[in-house]
Amino acid sequence: MGDRRLALASASDAADVAAFASRLLRLDEAAVIRLRQREDGLVGLWGTTGFEVLATRAVFGSLTPADVVCDAHTLADAAGRGDLAIDPGFALDSAWRGALPPQSGYRQIDDVPLRTVVDLAQRGAALAKEPVSGGHGPVTSLLDQVVLEVSDPAGDTSVGVALRSLFALTGMGFARDRNGHAISESSNLDEIADDEPVRVRASGTWVRLDARFGAVYQRRGDQFSVTVL
C-alpha cells in the first residue's frame, strides 16, 4: 500500500465511507474526496458536490498521510467490499480547489425542523423540473436563491440558506425519516419525526447545516435574493 493508507475501525465505518462516496458520485460522477485526520481521532471525509456546496461526515479510523485527496470511485469500491485497510490510490491534490472550512469557530444560530428543510427541497426540485425558455433546464440562479432565513433567538445574527445547500443535504443522504430511510423527492413529510432538527451554525465565512448523518457547508456571500417556494 506504500505510504498512503486509510485504516477504518469497523465494518460500520467502511459502510459509512461507501455510502458517502456513492452518494457523492451520484451528484458528480467525476468526484474526488478529501480525507483529513482530525484532532479528535476521527477521519473527516469531504466532497465538493455538484451543487458547489461542500459535504462532510466523519468516521473512526486513521489516515497516512494526514491529508489525502483521492478518487471517489476508489473509496466506494474498496469500502463497499468491506475493506478496513484501504489504499486511496494516486494523489489527486490538483483536483481539489480551495481550503477546507475550519473545524471550530462557528456560532449556533438556530435549529430548523427537518420537515421544513425537506419541504423546501422538494418544492425546489419540482420547480427545477418545470420547462424554461430555450429548453436548457433550470437556470443556475434557481440554486442560488435563498429559500430559508435563520436568525438567532436574540435577533442579532441572521443567515440565508440557498436552495443548493438543501439539495446537497438531502442528496447526500444526511437526512433520514423516522424509519431510517434516506430522504428523496417522493418522501412523505409525515414520515419525518417532527422533532428532528437541522442545526444551523455560521462563521464569518461559512454557513453550516448539520443533520444527523453529516453536514454541508455553504460560503457566506453565496446568497442572493430571497425566494418563497
Specify if 228 maps to a domain. Answer: no
With H, G, I as helix, E, B as strand and everything else as coil, classify residue 229: coil
| 66 pLDDT more than 90 | yes
State the CATH number of the domain containing residue 123.
3.10.150
| 135 pLDDT more than 60 | no
What pLDDT, on the 0 to 100 scale, is given for residue 44? Answer: 97
What pLDDT, on the 0 to 100 scale, is given for residue 6? Answer: 97
Q: How far is 163 from 145, CA to CA, in rounded Å?
A: 6
Contact between 216 and 170 under an 8 Å Cβ cutoff? The reply is: no
The cell 435563498 sits on which residue? 146
Domain co-membership, 133 together with 73: no
| 181 pLDDT more than 90 | no
Among 75-84, 130-139, 140-149, which range has the highest average pLDDT? 75-84
pLDDT band per the 50, 70, 90 thresholds, residue 185: confident
**The last residue of a domain, from among 95, 127, 155:** 95
**The last residue of a domain, from among 45, 66, 95:** 95
Task: Give percent of the chain with pLDDT exceeding 90.
Answer: 71
Q: Which domain holds residue 77?
A: 5-95
**The last residue of a domain, from among 38, 63, 95:** 95
81 DSSP 8-state letter: T
Task: Identify the H or E element spanning 15.
Answer: helix 11-27
Q: How far is 2 from 82, CA to CA, in rounded Å?
A: 20
Specify if 224 maps to a domain. Answer: no
Question: What does the pLDDT average to over 207-227?
Answer: 79
Question: What does the pLDDT average to over 176-188?
Answer: 86
Q: Model-level pTM?
A: 0.89
Domain co-membership, 91 together with 113: no
Structural domains in the chain (count)? 2
Specify if 213 maps to a domain. Answer: yes
Domain co-membership, 117 together with 196: yes
pLDDT band per the 50, 70, 90 thresholds, residue 1: very low
What pLDDT, on the 0 to 100 scale, is given for residue 132? Answer: 58
Domain co-membership, 138 together with 211: yes
Domain co-membership, 141 together with 85: no
Q: Which residues of 63-90 are buried (b: 16+ CB within 10 A; e: fewer)?
A: beeeebbbbbbbbbebbeeebeebebee
Question: What does the pLDDT average to over 2-19?
Answer: 94
Question: What does the pLDDT average to over 66-79?
Answer: 97
Q: Where are the beta strands (DSSP E) in 65-156?
A: 67-71, 85-86, 107-113, 146-151
What pLDDT, on the 0 to 100 scale, is given for residue 59? Answer: 98
